[in-house]
């Protein structure tokens, strides 16, 4: 492995976690992150930080840098030969208190092996409990601007990838309004791919704090909270059934509490729930599909 590359990338991700946590504490206006330091048997470890605050009901910002021998299940999942590896990155999931504020997920990560194989991955996606079309369009336009600074085909390529990845096949609906998702990125070269991963990571705070400010004081009632719990249930289903990051963490002997920090504080399932026709809830479900040109929508 290239110590020069990997050490600078690890340092960057550790500092990114610090910067994001400071910004989220300020935005929450009351909450403070709890930090747990952990070590992975076999090599490496991380810092798990969880906030249970005034505006963010449960938010996790994880940093990890794990290394050592690649476990066989993880090697099979990644379709690589077993051998020494390093995996590092930052992963975030925020579950807000107010149902009008969307759930957000972001991660940026780097992987390398001693045989010279390396790549970057990551992305950002938005899961509103209630889809606000103008805000979803704004979110995608911001991501498109980030992507366009690096390559004109990044946004359409990674937007479609997110539509496919964040899809609950057993429900035939997307997890939310999508975003971007990329993996095994090696272009244009290591420095260029790292620059793109940095740009994605640093876009997180302005994106989410804007959405938080726009929605955190909107009124809501018991009906909205019930719907929020049901949508959180869908989030749980995706993370436990389909998410490859969850499986990779468990297969490599990661810390279970840190891997599952993405789960909400409270979720619900109601048998065969069907929202009333033309309700806010029904209109939200109608938007949970692949292929919506969010960045190109003509919104007020």
pLDDT digits (tens, 9 = 90+) for 225-260: 999 999 999 999 999 999 988 888 888 777 888 889
Say what the pLDDT of residue 254 is.
77
Cα–Cα separations (whole angstroms), residue 279 to 56, 82, 170: 26, 52, 24
Of 265, 271, 107, 237, nearest in space to 169 by CA: 237
Cα–Cα distance for residue pair 167/162, rounded to 1 Å: 8
Contact present, 236 and 58 (Cβ < 8 Å): no
Cα–Cα distance for residue pair 72/51, rounded to 1 Å: 34
State which residues form the domain around 135: 3-296
Q: What is the mean pLDDT of the chain?
A: 94
Burial of 87 per CB tally in 10 Å (0-12, 13-18, 19+) = buried
**Residue 198: pLDDT above 80?**
yes
Task: Report H helices in 128-267.
Answer: 133-148, 154-165, 190-215, 222-241, 244-251, 256-259
Catalytic residue among 5, 95, 105, 150: 105
Task: Tell me whether residue 140 is one of the annotated catalytic residues.
Answer: no
Average pLDDT, integer, range 252-274 = 90
Contact present, 210 and 186 (Cβ < 8 Å): no
**Residue 215: pLDDT above 70?**
yes
**Residue 92: pLDDT above 50?**
yes
Say what the pLDDT of residue 248 is.
81
Confidence of residue 76 (pLDDT cuts 50, 70, 90): confident
What predicted TM-score, i.e. pTM, was given to this entire model?
0.94
For the domain that residue 170 is a member of, what is the CATH number? 3.40.1500.10
Q: How many domains does the chain have?
A: 1
The encoded tokens of residue 178 equal 């999508």
pLDDT single digits (tens) 9-38: 999 999 999 999 999 999 999 999 999 999
Say what the pLDDT of residue 249 is.
82
Of 89, 51, 91, 48, nearest in space to 67 by CA: 89
Cα–Cα distance for residue pair 259/262, rounded to 1 Å: 7
φ, ψ for residue 159, nearest 5 deg: -70, -45
């Amino acid at each position: 492995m290239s110590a020069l590359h990997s050490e600078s990338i690890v340092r960057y991700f550790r500092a990114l976690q610090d910067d994001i946590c400071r910004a989220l504490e300020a935005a929450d206006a009351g909450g403070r992150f709890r930090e747990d330091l952990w070590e992975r048997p076999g090599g490496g470890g991380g810092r798990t930080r969880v906030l249970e605050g005034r505006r963010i009901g449960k938010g996790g910002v994880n940093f990890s840098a794990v290394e050592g021998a690649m476990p066989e299940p993880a090697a099979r999942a990644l379709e690589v030969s077993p051998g020494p590896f390093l995996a590092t990155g930052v992963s975030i999931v925020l579950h807000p208190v107010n149902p009008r504020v969307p759930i957000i997920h972001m991660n940026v990560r780097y992987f390398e092996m001693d045989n010279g194989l390396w790549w970057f991955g990551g992305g950002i996606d938005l899961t509103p409990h209630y889809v606000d079309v103008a805000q979803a369009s704004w979110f995608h336009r911001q991501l498109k601007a980030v992507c366009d600074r690096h390559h004109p085909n990044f946004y359409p390529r990674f937007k479609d990838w997110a539509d496919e990845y964040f899809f609950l096949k057993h429900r035939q609906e997307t997890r939310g309004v999508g975003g971007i998702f990329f993996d095994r990125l090696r272009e244009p070269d290591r420095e260029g791919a790292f620059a793109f991963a940095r740009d994605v990571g640093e876009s997180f705070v302005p994106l989410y704090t804007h959405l938080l400010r726009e929605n955190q004081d909107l009124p809501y009632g018991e009906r909205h909270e019930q719907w929020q719990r049901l949508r959180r249930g869908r989030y749980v289903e995706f993370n436990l059934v389909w998410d490859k990051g969850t499986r990779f963490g468990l297969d490599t002997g990661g810390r279970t509490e840190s891997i599952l920090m993405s789960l909400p504080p409270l979720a619900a399932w109601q048998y065969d729930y069907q929202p009333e026709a033309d309700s806010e809830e029904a209109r939200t479900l109608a938007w949970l599909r692949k292929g919506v040109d969010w960045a190109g929508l003509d919104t007020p």
